[in-house]
Amino acid sequence: MKILVLGGAGYIGSHVVKDLLANHMEVVVYDDLSTGSQQNLFEKAEFIKGSILDYPALLSAMKKNIDAVILLAGKKAVGESMENPEKYALNNLSGNINVLNAMAESGIKKIVFSSSAAVYGTPQYLPLDENHPLNPMSFYGFTKAEMEKYMQWYDKLKGIKFVSLRYFNAVGYDEEGSIRGLEQNPQNLLPIVMEAISGKRNSMSVFGNDYDTRDGTCIRDYIHVSDLADAHTKALLYLDKNEQSLVLNLGTETGISVLEIIKETERLTGKTVPYKIAPRRPGDPAIVTASAKKAFDALGWKATHSGLENIILSTWRLYQ
C-alpha cells in the first residue's frame, strides 16, 4: 500500500511513519514543518513540504497513486484553541475539508484520522467508551468532533471509508531513539516535567491537589506514541479488507495521577522535579480513562509500550 501521511513530520506522525515503513508500506510524508521537524523525517519516505491549506499542492500529492491517507496535520494545543479559535477553524476545519475534497477529487477511498478524547468533554461515566455523548469543552475538541461528522457524510456521499482514532494522552518516544525532534513549547504534562527536571524551566505547577482521586491530583490515561502508531497501521489493514468506517478509542484503560508521574520520574532519573501546587486548571476533569475494547475487537490492537516506566524513560532519554 502507498500511504500519504499528512503531518508526518510531527510528534505522532513521525512515529506513525516509522511503523508504516517497518510494515513495508510505501510512504509519502506531506508536512508544512510549522510544528513538525526536519529531524523527524525518514530517508525511506518521500517528503513533500506543503500545507493542507494549499489545495492544488495537496491534490498533486494525492495524484501519486496513493491508496490511503493518514491525516495528522493539525493544531493541538487545547488552551490556544480557546484564545485563537480562528487558527483552529482554519487548520483543523478548512484544512481538513480540503483533505476530504482532494480525496474525493482524486478517488482515494480510505482515511485514518487523528481524533481525540477531547471530543467527550467531562465524563458522565468511566471508562469512556465510544458511545459516550460528545460534548467538547474546548474549541480544539470541537474541531475533532466536527471532522468526524464530515467524515460520516463523505462516507455516505462519496464512499470514503474512515477510521477515526480518538487518542487519550499521547506520551513517550520511540524506544530505538530514531525520532529526535523535541516538541517546541510543549503544553502537556510529561514534556513539562522533563523540562523542569532538566533545568529548561525553573519549576512547574501541579494544577490542583484537591480532586476526589487517590492523591488529590488528576488522573489520565497515558498512551505511548508507538502504541498509537501501531493502531494506525492496523487501521489501514482493516480499511483494506472492510467496507465499514469505525470510531475507536486508543488508551490503556489505566489511570495515572499527576503526582504518580512526578514521583516515578524522580525515582527513575534520581533527580528532583521542582514543582508547586497551583490552583485547578479550568475545564480539567478529575479522571479520564478509556475503554479500548472496541479497538481490540476491531483491530486486535492493545497497548504494549505504555508501561509507566517505559513512557518516562523513553522520554527522558531525549531530554537528558
Residue numbers at the binding site for ligand WQD (CB under 6 A): 76, 78, 116-118, 167, 169, 187-189, 192, 204-207, 218, 220, 258, 281, 284
The span from the CA of 94 to the CA of 73, in Å, is 12
- Which CB atom, from 110 or from 220, has the smaller least distance to ligand WQD? 220
State the Cα angle at 233 between 309 and 7, rounded to 5°: 85
CB of 31 to ligand WQD, least distance (A): 18
- Which CB atom, from 108 or from 295, has the smaller least distance to ligand WQD? 295
Instruction: Specify the amino acid at residue 92.
Output: N
- Which CB atom, from 55 or from 275, has the smaller least distance to ligand WQD? 275
Which residues belong to the active site? 140
Collapse the DSSP code of 277 into the 3-class scheme (helix H, G, I; strand E, B; otherwise coil) and give the result: strand
- Which CB atom, from 102 or from 130, has the smaller least distance to ligand WQD? 130
| Phi then psi dihedrals of residue 189, to 5 deg | -55, -55
CB of 221 to ligand WQD, least distance (A): 9
CB of 189 to ligand WQD, least distance (A): 4
Rg, Å, the chain Cα set? 19
- Which CB atom, from 71 or from 102, has the smaller least distance to ligand WQD? 71
- Which CB atom, from 187 or from 242, has the smaller least distance to ligand WQD? 187
b vs e for 147-173, b when ≥16 Cβ sit within 10 Å of the residue's Cβ?
A: bbebbeebbeeeebbbbbbbbbbbbbb
CB of 228 to ligand WQD, least distance (A): 10
Cβ neighbours, 10 Å, residue 186? 15
The span from the CA of 187 to the CA of 291, in Å, is 25
The span from the CA of 250 to the CA of 21, in Å, is 21
Diameter over CA atoms, the chain: 57
CB of 66 to ligand WQD, least distance (A): 25
Q: Taking the CA of residue 245 as centre, how many other CA atoms within 13 Å lie in the half-sphere pointing to its CB?
A: 22
CB of 284 to ligand WQD, least distance (A): 5
| Phi then psi dihedrals of residue 198, to 5 deg | -95, 5
| Beta bridge partners of residue 6, listed in sequence order | 30, 71
